Structure 1
Amino acid sequence: MDERIVILDFGAQYTQLIARRIREAGVFSEILPCTASVENFATARGIVLSGGPSSVYQPGSPQLDPALLQLQRGDGSPMPLLGICYGLQALVHSVGGVVEAAEHREFGRASLNILRDDKLLAGIENGSQVWMSHGDLPTHAPLDYEIIADTTSAVIAGLRHKTLPHYGVQFHPEVVHTEGGQRIFENFVGEICGCRCDWSPASFMTQKIAEIRELVGMDHVILGLSGGVDSSVAARLIHEAIGDQLTCIFVNNGLLRHGEWESVQKTFRDHFQIRLEAIDASERFLTRLEGITDPERKRVVIGNTFVHVFEEATSAITSALGTKPKFLAQGTLYPDVIESISFKGPSVTIKTHHNVGGLPEDHPFEILEPFRELFKDEVR
């Protein structure tokens, strides 16, 4: 994608919503942890600083890299910034403004009072309801910044730099409770960042088909087909790109829905004309799962057993083709990737996902993940 907005994740529960809103505005968005190096942003058209649960004064809390404030885009223009809630607080704190603890944590609607005409709030009605969720809030604007909006409880609900395209809001425009929130993102990416706003999942798919053809060349791809949306659409997309160079492996692990074993084979073999190796390993899976009640242990057993079955199927496919497939395709989605890289603050235990980190380190394949940048509804 030649246009993208980077979202720096400070640990907010709403970070993925921000990414969704920006994509709905027609610009590709990418989430990176707030600890990411500024070298990752060189090709971005703008940067959003997400909210987060921390206080800027809390030991170990994520802080804004001062280099972001000096960052320029490829054309030499200053990099636009938009801080949201904690992102605004981190911005204010980093440039000498004052952030203080609120008397009471604010969570709920507030009425926005617009103080100045501005590109960011263009088209937003004065008195619009916005959603607050914070314990701290900025109380004094830094030098060279001016307040563009407030509420009855927040002296600074909106802020901008006087000469640079640096903005911040104390509320959450990404949630549905904020009236005109989508318009704020459209203003930021279109009017402030100067994006064309012509990205869509359909344009992404067209580009991805061409990329797969170029990447795979004359080699072969195998894909573990589950019958679910992710792997099924991945199979269709890859098949459209390379045809019979794709072979899908469908394993019956004994945990399928009634009739699914038969329906998946019929759909992919007969209807889509996709090469399919169907393996009934239900007895092997169920025998190894017998007596296990811990969910995480079940996932490990299922994963390990699947790897063994998959390796056996791959050997059979290699013999039939006369050459070993070079690529292993997966239906990994963007939330899986985000879960693996996002800033989580203190150590957090998250259940393992079968498409990220589940393969043995010595697997012989190059990984092909056509949807690793998409959300599930975009794949649908």
Structure 2
Amino acid sequence: MKKILVIDNYDSFVYNLVHYLEELDCHVVVKRNDQLDIEEAEEFDKILLSPGPGIPDEAGLLKPIIEKYAATKSILGVCLGMQAIGEVFGGTLNNLDDVYHGVATKIELFVDDEYIFDGLGKEFQVGRYHSWVVDKNLPNSLQVTSYDEKGEIMSLRHKEFDVRGVQFHPESVLTPDGKKMIKNWVSHNPEGKQEKTEAKPQHEI
């Protein structure tokens, strides 16, 4: 059973993500971004960074978690979580003229080897709830994996670490393939890594 730490960035969608993970037989622990000890994340197999209001610098230990565990943990950032990944590795954010709140748009894959999107087509619908995006001028360590129809970054990954982000909400009903994406992330094991079994489970939420 995979042990997943969900960093709750004070977002109403977080328990939709938790529900998906629990349906995939994961042991899930939820911690708010300002109510955890950064060392707690050590015992988990994967870390999911939830959506949330505002910007990453206002989100407690969100960025320090990425800084500490990017090289050793599988991390998926959703919306605000992706923006935090972008900033941690040297990217910047842009405030959009148009706010997306419960808007379904098409996105197109820019790569054909992104495991989160395994089994999906080249183009698909996603649900969006955001007013910020990661600027297209990415640092060398990051790579775009999909764009929207206006050329804005909708997903990215680190070139060396198992760190990925999606700007859209896979847990939204407006993202028909969202559960498949979460399943792909949960089931992926980076080469050379074994699933940990020694960590004692936690149950507090």
TM range (shorter): 0.7 to 0.9
Question: Of residues 163, 166, 174 in structure 2, which corresponds to 1:166?
Answer: 163
Higher relative contact order (CA closer than 8 Å, sequence separation 6+): 2
Question: Of residues 183, 188, 193 in structure 2, which corresponds to 1:191?
Answer: 188
1:192–1:98 distance in 2 versus 1, CA, 3 Å? farther
Matched, 1:22 2:21: yes
Give, in angstroms, the shift of residue 38 of structure 1.
Answer: 2.1
Alignment deviations for residues 335-356 of structure 1 (CA, whole Å, 9 cap, x no partner) = xx75xxxxxxxxxxxxxxxxxx
Q: Could you say what secondary structure the match of 2:122 adopts? A: coil
Distance in 2, matches of 1:98 and 1:65, equals: 13
CA contact (8 A) 2:33 2:59 kept: no
1:61–1:191 distance in 2 versus 1, CA, 3 Å? closer
Match of 2:31 in 1: 32
CA contact (8 A) 2:49 2:77 kept: yes
Alignment deviations for residues 278-308 of structure 1 (CA, whole Å, 9 cap, x no partner) = xxxxxxxxxxxxxxxxxxxxxxxxxxxxxxx
Give, in angstroms, the shift of residue 195 of structure 1.
Answer: 9.0
Give, in angstroms, the shift of residue 11 of structure 1.
Answer: 1.2
Distance in 2, matches of 1:56 and 1:68, equals: 11
Mean CA deviation greater in 62-71 or 4-13: 62-71
Match of 2:92 in 1: 98
Match of 2:78 in 1: 84
Alignment-mate amino acid for residue 112 of structure 1: I
Q: Could you say what secondary structure the match of 1:120 adopts? A: helix
Match of 2:200 in 1: none
CA contact (8 A) 2:7 2:48 kept: yes
Match of 1:49 in 2: 49
The number of equivalent residue pairs is 192
Gaps of 5+ in 2: 196-202
1:145–1:6 distance in 2 versus 1, CA, 3 Å? same
Give, in angstroms, the shift of residue 160 of structure 1.
Answer: 0.6
Q: Where does 1:301-316 land on structure 2 (aligned, <5 Å)? A: none
- Looking at secondary structure, tell me which structure has more helix per residue: 1
CA contact (8 A) 1:9 1:50 kept: yes
Distance in 2, matches of 1:149 and 1:63, equals: 27
1:33–1:55 distance in 2 versus 1, CA, 3 Å? same
CA contact (8 A) 1:81 1:167 kept: yes
Alignment-mate amino acid for residue 113 of structure 1: E
**TM-score when normalising by structure 2:** 0.84
1:154–1:89 distance in 2 versus 1, CA, 3 Å? farther
Q: Could you say what secondary structure the match of 1:186 adopts? A: helix
Alignment deviations for residues 349-379 of structure 1 (CA, whole Å, 9 cap, x no partner) = xxxxxxxxxxxxxxxxxxxxxxxxxxxxxxx
Alignment deviations for residues 6-61 of structure 1 (CA, whole Å, 9 cap, x no partner) = 1101111100011111111221211111132221111111001000011246xx44
Q: Where does 1:131-146 land on structure 2 (aligned, <5 Å)? A: 131-140=127-136, 141-146=138-143
Distance in 2, matches of 1:195 and 1:19, equals: 23
Question: Of residues 100, 120, 131 in structure 1, which corresponds to 2:116?
Answer: 120
Q: CA RMSD for the aligned pairs?
A: 2.3
Alignment deviations for residues 182-210 of structure 1 (CA, whole Å, 9 cap, x no partner) = 111111110146898xxxxxxxxxxxxxx
1:16–1:191 distance in 2 versus 1, CA, 3 Å? same
Distance in 1, matches of 2:79 and 2:142, equals: 16
Q: Where does 1:228-239 land on structure 2 (aligned, <5 Å)? A: none
1:152–1:162 distance in 2 versus 1, CA, 3 Å? same
CA contact (8 A) 2:66 2:85 kept: no
Distance in 2, matches of 1:195 and 1:86, equals: 29
Question: Of residues 61, 68, 71 in structure 1, which corresponds to 2:69?
Answer: 71
Alignment deviations for residues 67-124 of structure 1 (CA, whole Å, 9 cap, x no partner) = 533428xxxx820110000111111112210111010111200102011121111112
Distance in 2, matches of 1:63 and 1:3, equals: 23
Distance in 1, matches of 2:59 and 2:6, equals: 18
Alignment-mate amino acid for residue 3 of structure 2: R
Distance in 2, matches of 1:180 and 1:89, equals: 22
